[in-house]
Structure formats: C-alpha cells, structure tokens
Amino acid sequence: MAGLASLTAHELGARYRDGTATPTQAVTECLARIEALDPQVRAFLTVTGEDARRRAALADARFRAGTPYGPLDGVPMAVKDLLCTRGIRTTCGSKILEGFVPPYDATVVARLFAAGAVLLGKLNMDEFAMGSSTENSGFFTTCNPWDLARVPGGSSGGASAVVAADMAPLTLGTDTGGSIRQPAAFSGVVGLKPTYGRVSRYGAIAFASSLDQIGPFARDAEDAALMLGTIAGADPMDSTAIDVPVPDYRATLGQGIDRLRLGVPAEYFTDGMDPEVEQAVRAAIATLEKLGARTEPVSMPHTEYGLAAYYVIAPAEASSNLARYDGVKYGLRATGARDLIDMYSKTRAAGFGNEVKRRVMLGTYVLSAGYYDAYYGQAQKVRTLVRRDFDRAFEKVDLLVAPTTPGVAFKMGEKADPLQMYLNDIFTVPVSLAGLPGVSIPGGFTQAGLPIGLQLIGRAFDEATLLRAAHAYQSVTDWHTRRPALQTGTADRTPR
Amino acid sequence: MAGPGPRISPGDVEHVARLARLDLSAAEKERMRTELDGILAYIDKLRALDTRDVPPTSHAVPVTNVMREDEERPSLPQEEMLANAPDRHRDLFRVPKIIEE
Amino acid sequence: MSEHETIVGLEVHAQLATRTKMFCGCGAVFGAPPNTRTCPVCQGMPGSLPVINRRAVEFGIMTALALGCGINQHNRFARKHYYYPDMPKNYQISQYEEPLAEHGRLVIDTGPGPREIGIQRVHLEEDVGKLVHEGALETAQSSSVDFNRAGVPLMEIVSKPDLRSPDEAAAYLKTLRAIVVFLGVCDGNMEEGSLRCDANISLRPRGQAEYGTKVEIKNMNSFRNVRDALEYEIRRQTRALDTGERIVQETRLWDPDRAVTVSMRSKEFAHDYRYFPEPDLPPLDVQPAWVEEIRGRLPELPDARRTRFRQAYGLSSYEADLLTQGRGLADYFEAATQGGGKPKAVANWVLNELLRELPGDDDRAVATCPIPPANLAALLALIDDGTISGKIAKDVFEKMYRTGDTAQAIVSREGLTQVADEGALGSAVDRVLTEHVKVVEDFRAGKKAALGFLVGQVMKATQGKANPALVNRLLIEKLPKG
C-alpha cells in the first residue's frame, strides 16, 4: 500500500472506512519514511515506534468492529517536544530537560489519544520555543525538506518539516510570536495559530503565558479543520482556555468566499521584504478576488511597534516561566556545586543555550525594580494599541490578508545577529499580541523553488472563516499539493 | 543625559545574572551586554508612543472569575512525583547546602 | 517610662481550612507521607497551570468582612519571584497591587479600654513546601524538600503599624485568631503552623513623627513567644539606641530556648520580587451580590457572642471568654441551654467536667464529645429535681462520657436514684447516731465539724444516694441540742 504517507488525514480516514487501508499499514509506512528520511531532515527527537504500532493495532480492531472513534482514529501524527506526553521523554528542545519524563499528558495530547490518533514521536524545536529557525535547539538543527541546507523555520521546525516531508499528515506545534505560521511558510505547509484561549495550554511547557497557543500543521485546510476541532475547547485545567463553543470547522469549509471582505494592511508590505514574496502575496490576493472576495486597504499604524512590544513581554514572561528550571525536581543538575545558589547558577548556565539565556536576561531586566514601568508597563500599553488597530480594521473587513514573513527560508547560520533573527517575526507578532487567529498557507514558490507563505488573519474565535478562505484558495491553486524532492539515502547534514 | 549612551552597564549585567541565577563567564557577560544593549535600543522605539490614556493589556482574554469548586482530585502517586528527581533522598528531593545570601 | 515609643505591625499568615489547595485539587491535609499530596500543578512541573479555588476566595471575603475591610471588586493575582528550594516554580502566586481587601480594623482591649488597630490588607496566596535539614540550617550539608504543603491556600493579613506594646501585639493576635477560628476559615493551630505571625518592630523618640528603622521578627509560634520576642527586641533596640548604635534593617529569628532574637539576614538590600500580574489567571471581579450573600451567612463573631453570653445568660466575663474561644464549645454551651439546662450550671459543667474529659478545647475536640448537649441538659435536670445528688451526678457524667448512654439510663440501671424518702433516711440517720455516740457528744459540746462527719457517714451508709440537704436537716432535727 504505497503512498499512504502522502495522503491527508481526511483521505486516510476515508480509506480506513472503506476498508482499502488500515491504520497499521499507514503507520508502518510513516515509520518507514521516518527511518529513511529523518537522518537527513532531523525532525524527530524521539520516535515512539512501539507505542505507535500498538495504538495502530487498537485502531485496526475498532475499524474492523465498525466502531471507530471518529475522523482522526488511526491517523498518524507527531507533536512538538514542548507538549508533555506521559511516560515519553519531553525535552522542550533543551538540555536542561534532558531525561525529563512527564507523569501526565498535555490536554491536547489526551484529546488526540481519545480520538484514536497515533503518536509517531516528539519533534525538534528551538529551545523553549525561542527562535525562528530551530537552530536554537539544544540538540541539533532540523533541515528544510525543500533545501536541506536551509532552515525549516522555528520554533516549530520539526513539526512543519514532518508534514512537508510526508512523514505524517498532521502535527501539532505552538505559536507565541509566529512559531507555527513562520515555519509553515518556510516549509510550504498549512500552519494555524488559533485565537488565544481557543485551545488548552495545560501540559504545554510555557514560554510566554499570555501569547502561547497550540495549533496544527497540515497539508490542507480540511486537515487543519479536523485537527483544530479535536483539540479546541475549554479545559478545567486551564483558566485561560475560554468556554466558547467549538463549531464544526469542516462543515463550513466549502461555503466559498463570495463577498467576503478582505483587508490588505499597508504596513505589512515593507521596503526590505523579498520582492518574490510580495509578488506571490499580491497574486494570491488577486486569486481571492476572483473567488468573489472584495479587498480594501486598511491601515494598522502600530504594526512597527509590535515587534518591540513583543520582545519586552515575551522575554519577561519567559524569564518567569523558566525560573523553575533549577535542578531541584527534574532535569539537569550541575555537579560539583559548592552550595545551592552555585548549583542553581551552574545548572542553568549549562542547561540553557545562548538565545534562552539572552531572553531570560532581557526578561529579568525589564521586570526588575525601576524598569518595570518604562519597559513592561509601556509594552503592555502598546499591546493595547496594536489590538485596537485590529479591532478598527475588523469593523470594515472580515479577514486580513498579508505575507507571513518578509523573506523565505534562509541558510543555516545566516542570521547570526539575534535582532536580525527577530525581524523574521514582524508580520506574525502583532497577531499574537492581539490574541487573534492566523493561518499561513502555501502561496507560491520562489524561482529557486522555496515556499512562500500567505497569511490570513481573522477575528477572535473566527477560525471557521480563516479555514473557509484557505479552503477556497486551495480549491483553485495547487501550491499545497507540491512536495519536495527528498531522496531516501545517505545524508551528511551537519548539525548546528 | 548627553546622547544615547549604553543602556546597560556591566554592573547591570552582573546584577541581572545574579537575579536570574545564571553563571556567566566574563566573556559571556560582555557579549551579553552588547547584545542586550542592541535589543534595548530597538525596544526604545516604544518610548515614542504616547500611552498616557491607554490601559495596559495584562490579560489576553476578556474573562474574569474563572474558579473551581473545592473538590479533591487524586494526587499523583509518590513514586511518579519523585521519578524525575536529580537527587532523591528517601521520599524527599535533596538539595545542596543552603547559604543565605 | 521609656523615651522611646514602640511601633509594631503584625503580618499574619493563616492557612485556610479548605479541602483542597489554592490552585489545584490536591488535598490540603496535614501529616501525610512526604510528596504524596502533590500533582504537576503544585509541584510546578513544566506545562502545569493554576486554577483558583472558589472556597479560598470565599474564606478571604468572610475574613475581610469580619475585619471591616473594603473588598476590592477588581483584584488579581501576581507572581512574586525568588529562588528557594521550597518554591516549586521559584515564584509564588500571591497578590500585590490589587489585593482582595484593604483598610479594615480589629478592636483589642488590654485593660485600659478598647483600641482600634488598623488592618492594611487581606490577600490570598499559596504556601510553599517544607524544608528539612540535618540539624540547623546554618550547618547542614544538604536539605530536603517535601512539597505536600506547597500550594495550600494562605491568607495574609497585614496590620497597620498601630500596635504600641508586646501586650497589644499578643492581644491582637489572640483576637484575630479567635475570629478566623470562629469563622471556620482557619483552625488557628500555631504549633502546627496553620497560623503564623511575623512582626515588624521599630522604636522612635516620643513625639517624633518619622518612624525608626524597622526590624522583622520571625519564628514566634505562640502568643507567649510573640510577647517575649517583642519585649526582648525593645530591650535590644533601646540598648543600641542608648549607646548610639545604628539599628540595622534586617530579619531576626526568635530563639525561644535562649530567649533572644538572632540576626538572620540583612534586609538592607531588599529582595527584588519582580512582581507582575499572573498571566495564567484571569482577574477576579467580586460581585457585590456575592459579597452580600456571604455577609448574610457570617456567623456571630467572638466579640458579639461574648457580650451576648454575659448579658443574655448572666455569665461572668471569665466564663464568657472561655466559652467563646471556639465556635464548637460556644455552640455546645448554647445547645445545652436550649435543651433546658440553666446557663450558669451548664457553663460550670462545660468548663470543668467536660473540658477535663475532652482531648482539647478546639472545634475538632468538641466534635468528638460523646455526650450530646441535650443529654448534658438532661443530667443537670436530674440534679435539679433531686433525683440524684451533685456528687453522684459527677460519676454519672463520667459514665455518660465513656458509654454515650443518657443520664436516666445510667441512673436507672445502677439504681443511683437519690434517696429522698424521709422515712428510709430517718432510719439511716438513727443508725448512724447510735453508732457514733462520741461524735454526737462532740457536736453537743460545740464542735460544728462533727455534723459534717455525721452527714458523711449517712452518705456512706446510703452509698452516696442520700439527698444531702435532707440528711442535714434530719440530723439537725434529731441531734440533741447542746
């Protein structure tokens, strides 16, 4: 049964139901692809082959008995190593959590298991989700399946690469300032960041509590809808997961976008951006118009301040969330310490990479006595201004359309300066600050064959419209069906 | 204050590293100082905005009063809670000598 | 009279008597084996998130109302950062700029009359784990942590610096303790650490408006320790000021064995707690309707109850005071009086016989009492109507305590009914008079004590069942007048 690994989850589900394929067959194929390709792509930190086969067999039995759990039953997937999985080591891409085995599952993981999904493994990421290239992983760098010398984006680089390389149809990543959307753009797949509060964060190792969200990577809008519908919804374990009903995202996918009002924010087309990206996005807008949408320009005057506000708020919250990594209860503990404080300081110095240290220092600084009002206080107010820009725009339009990133996948090692790296996020960060949903979908390729991402931004809790528009776009384009030409065989990718 | 001098001094870096419990070498401290200085310079653009009448966004979700009932949920077994301990002493987590700062 | 005025503020932490912890569903119990009452949340595991315990908020509101505080409708939690092994997350979820309640008062009276002490604020936070060391903290090579206590709800009550003496401080603490115990929000057990007290004390020259340097005192786990520690501090600081020494702003620990305070660490460089609003917890918006509903359910507070006991039941201040130390005992007393017992008699029996038998005077102990209040009332009624004597009643009481039987059942079963039949008693009296001729002579000679002896003999002859008053009267009638 070749080719099962390249099917979408909804296609697989159909094959399971009509008996022309079984979960074990699909999972076996995925595992074989992982074995053949991951030495080059390096997306996986942990492969859970045995567990996967066991879950697949249980799914087989349910289909034979005619009692499958639902559309995700037996579907292979993998999750970013930021999500806690009971009994399976979870590192968050960091040496400081090497060996940590959580005694509990994240809520989203539990929901996927309850739906019958089959976990293939845990995926590589920038350490503690801090980064835009996966080069900050404490272990190694993941390679972009479209060009192994380039980054897949970050921080959910492993999750985007797996879908791009057909190692699984669905993965879960997290997005704080763009960490789902940007790698989706760089890797040529669909990546959706839900509204803040749409999906439970319980069990997701925290980076920036007021910004983090968990979301799917998929090949098409329908699969993203499937995954989102399974993981979304209130959770008594997460006070910030709001009790808003979860619509049937798939039911409205095919309704088209006739007369949908699209806003094109002027500030998202900047001078420094890659002209090919701009061109592709403008072409995509034209396509959307042909589908019946009506576009109009909107202005979001505080866009340029979003990144600065983000780089105060996110490191501040991160410095707090990472205070617990101290060698006392779990993870790495430095040896040879004189006393407790020495142990703390040596453990954290040994366990954290440079980017994490930088953000912890920055975050600690902006929260420290005397600086709070000028930095953190001010950034929180600017956050309000950024949010108001969106509120005003959504008075006139239903969706915003923009590029996901100013450029395409860059070469490993190219963005050595931290600030240069941060500038990758200028189009994704404001959406995070406003807590709104955003999706990146494949919108074209550069001459050199690198994927270009198109970003759609919606009102709070209106993921249905995002997905509907994405689906409409995908019904008349084929960017999302293209696959990188990965050869199985020996690889010589140098780690970070 | 004349001109845009360095925003963060070596003393600041020392102080913050201590607050953050990070053991940095002299070279790392200097590199950190330069990098943070650059980032803070970028962040400074926030000062240009007049936010006098703008309320801060302290919470990303517009809800209040999220509470739970005072009902017991089973605690996790002792073995599971101690399983990840780097230094386990009987049923406790052991840590090195504590010196008051 | 010292030239210095003492200024004291007290910071009290009360562990709330909720079933579960502040932010997770683990049981908030004392004494379980280490690390058996924990979960990812209270151990601060990666990915865990807090969820507020509604009852803890309710208890906080109850306390704030009893202290006359204004409830801040909008209040929220904040993170307070510091590194310590008993802190699972290396930050404590507490309240900072917007606490639950502020600006209340507590009335104390150390003799000269009632004085109002200001309450600065009441807020909620989570407790930390427990550290154990081999020997003293200063010399231990390592320490170990038990997280069972981590996450237990704490209510912090901060007074204004209005206290002016160690006596006042002890009175404040005693009164505050009675209130929280009465409300049922805290069991008030200082030895077990469910009620903790830290003090801030400074001296200033009389007449000066500016405060002196304040010193924080910790480790006072009883009213007596609070008084002794503050008295010591006053002496220490006075001596220092008199010799021109500067008072260092620091934290000192009370050492009850050596009766001194010992410097712990310098607070000259205060912790930078880097407070910011807790992003994982949406703010509280305490609705006035909820507050009023809670206010309506508040039990009668100790002060009010004490006054009512004196006025309505005619009890002495001493009796009223003792009976209102805890709600359990006060409720028991009232139920017994409602069951028909005369208040003074009930008070007497409760404060003497009952407290003698009970394992303690707190609510927990009273709840274990095998004698329902109505049964005590019934026992007292049997004394009143002459069925049994007071002395027999004490025996009956002990048997009631051991068996749980009613007084009537025991009296019937053991034939303890008092003999009040003049005829039967008359015979007993005659016999005794015949047997103790010498004593009769002594009585006739003027020894009044001889009467007591003879009464005793009649009681003995009737196995204590004779009605003593009747015996007395009969003897006097039958004895020859001297």
Chains near A with 3+ CB pairs less than 8 A apart are: B, C
Contact criterion met (CB below 8 Å) for C465 and C392: yes
Q: Which residues of chain B have pLDDT under 70?
A: 1-6, 100-101
What confidence tens digit (pLDDT) does each residue in A414-462 have? 988 888 888 889 999 999 999 999 999 999 999 999 999 999 999 999 9
Higher pLDDT, C419 or A400: A400
Last residue within a domain, chosen from A257, A288, A313: A257
pLDDT score of C419? 72
Contacts across the A-C interface (CB distance below 8 Å): 90
| Nearest C-alpha neighbor of B35 from the set A422, C265, C217 | A422
Are C478 and C427 a contacting pair, CB within 8 Å? Answer: no
Task: Give the mean model confidence (pLDDT) for residues A10-20.
Answer: 96
Tokens linked to C435: 């047997």
Spatial separation of the C-alpha atoms in residues B12 and B15, rounded to whole Å? 5
Q: Is there a single domain that holds both residue A29 and residue A99?
A: yes
How many domains does chain A contain in total?
2
Residue whose entry in the numeric block shows the structure tokens 């931290």: A418
**pLDDT exceeds 70 at position A121:** yes
Separation in Å, CA C341 to CA C308, C344, C403, C430? 17, 9, 21, 36
| The predicted structure's pLDDT at residue A2 | 57
Catalytic annotation present for A329: no
What's the confidence (pLDDT) of residue A491?
A: 41
Longest CA–CA span in chain A (Å) reads: 69
| Residue ranges of E strands in C191-268 | 195-205, 215-218, 250-255, 260-266
Mean pLDDT estimate for chain C: 91
Give the pLDDT of residue C269.
53
- pLDDT value, residue C265: 64
C45 closest CB neighbour out of A102, A240, A320: A102
Interface test with C, best of B90, B98, B99 (most C CBs within 10 A): B98
The pair of structure tokens assigned to C87 is 């802190």
Segment C97-126 shows an average pLDDT of 95
Are both A247 and A325 inside the same structural domain?
no
**Position A424 in a domain:** no
* Average pLDDT over all residues of chain A: 95
Distance from CA of B20 to the nearest CA of C (A): 9
Question: ipTM value of the model?
Answer: 0.95
Q: Taking CB atoms and an 8 Å cutoff, what residues of chain A touch B61?
A: 196-197, 240, 242, 435
Residue partners of B14: CB distance under 8 A and separation at least 6: B29
Q: What is the mean pLDDT of residues A193-200?
A: 98
Among residues A263, A89, A199, A83, which one has the least CA distance to residue A461? A199
What torsion, rounded to 10 degrees, do the Cα atoms C446, C448, C449, C451 define? 110
Max Cα–Cα distance, chain C, nearest Å: 96
Neighbours of A67 (CB within 10 A): 9
Q: What is the pLDDT of residue A270?
A: 87
Residue A97 falls within a domain, yes or no? Answer: yes
Confirm if A319 and C272 have CB atoms less than 8 A apart. no
Per the annotation, the verdict on A179 as an active-site residue is yes
Q: What is the pLDDT of residue C482?
A: 55
pLDDT tens readout for residues C301-316: 888 898 999 999 999 9
pLDDT in tens, A82-113: 999 999 999 999 999 988 999 999 999 999 99
Q: What is the pLDDT of residues C65-82, one digit of tens each?
A: 999 999 999 999 999 999
Q: Give A163-224 as a DSSP string.
A: HHTTS-SEEEEEESSSTTHHHHHHHTSEEEEPPTTSB--TTBPPSSTTT-EEEEEESSHHHH
| Residues of chain B found within 8 Å of residue C283, distances taken between Cβ atoms | 58-59, 64
Contact at CB, B70 and C53, closer than 8 angstroms: yes
pLDDT tens per residue, range C277-310: 999 999 999 999 999 999 999 988 888 898 999 9
Q: What is the token pair recorded at A492?
A: 């010589």
Q: Which one-letter amino acid corresponds to residue C178?
A: A
pLDDT of residue C380 exceeding 50, the answer is yes
Domain limits for position A166: 4-257
Reported CATH class of domain B7-49: mainly alpha
End-to-end Cα, chain B, rounded Å? 34
Checking if the pLDDT of A490 tops 80, the result is: no
Closest CA to A376 of C42, B43, C8: B43
Indicate the residue type of A92.
C
Of A84, A201, A239, the CB nearest to C51: A239
B21 to chain A: closest CA residue: A345
Query: Minimal Cα–Cα distance from C348 to chain A, Å?
Result: 52
What pLDDT was estimated at residue C417? 79
pTM of the entire predicted model: 0.89
Residue A273 · residue A407 · CB < 8 Å:
yes
Q: Is C83 on the interface with A (CB under 8 A)?
A: yes
Q: Where are the domains of chain C?
A: 4-289, 300-414, 422-478
Band of residue A493 on the pLDDT scale cut at 50, 70, 90: very low
| Range in A8-12, A362-366, C393-397 with the lowest mean pLDDT | C393-397
As given in the structure block, the two tokens for residue A154 are: 């970050």
Tell whether the model's pLDDT for residue A298 goes beyond 70: yes
Nearest to B100 among C35, C83, C265 (CB): C265
User: Residues of A with CB below 8 A from B36's CB?
Assistant: 358, 361-362, 365
Could you give the count of Cα atoms lying within 13 Å of A303 in the half-sphere of its Cβ? 18
Catalytic (active site) residue A155: yes
**Chain B residues near residue A330 by CB distance under 8 angstroms:** 84-86
Minimal Cα–Cα distance from B60 to chain C, Å? 8
Q: Do B22 and A418 touch (CB under 8 A)?
A: no
- Total residue length of chain A: 496
Q: Catalytic pick from A80, A193, A346, A415?
A: A80
Residue C162 has pLDDT above 90, yes or no: yes
Same domain for A241 and A376? no
- Contact C46/A324, CB-based, under 8 Å? yes
Whether A327 sits inside 8 A of B21 (CB atoms) is no
pLDDT of residue C429: 87
> What are A26-67's pLDDT values in tens digits?
999 999 999 999 999 999 999 999 999 999 999 999 999 999
Q: In chain A, what is the straight-line distance between the N-terminal and C-terminal CA atoms, in Å?
A: 36
In DSSP terms, which residues pair with C27 in a beta bridge? C20
| CATH 3.30.530.20 is right for the domain spanning C422-478 | no
Asked if B93's CB is within 8 angstroms of C274's CB, the reply is: no
Q: How many CB atoms lie within 10 A of CB A223?
A: 28
Decide which of A230, A257, A284 is a domain's last residue: A257
* Contact (CB<8Å) C40/B76: yes
Task: Give per-residue pLDDT as tens, C218-228.
Answer: 999 999 999 99
pLDDT of residue C362: 80
pLDDT digits (tens, 9 = 90+) for C327-376: 889 999 999 999 888 999 999 999 999 999 998 888 888 988 999 999 99
C-alpha A366/C-alpha C450 separation (Å) is 92
Given the residues A133, A137, A155, A200, the one annotated as active site: A155
pLDDT value at residue A1 = 45
Lowest mean pLDDT among A448-457, C58-67, C89-98, C443-452: C443-452
Residue A149 to residues A144, A355, C20, C162, C391: CA-CA distances in angstroms?
7, 21, 53, 71, 100
Is position A68 within any domain? yes
What type of residue sits at position C336? A
pLDDT-derived band at A320, boundaries 50, 70, 90: very high
pLDDT of A489 higher than 60? no
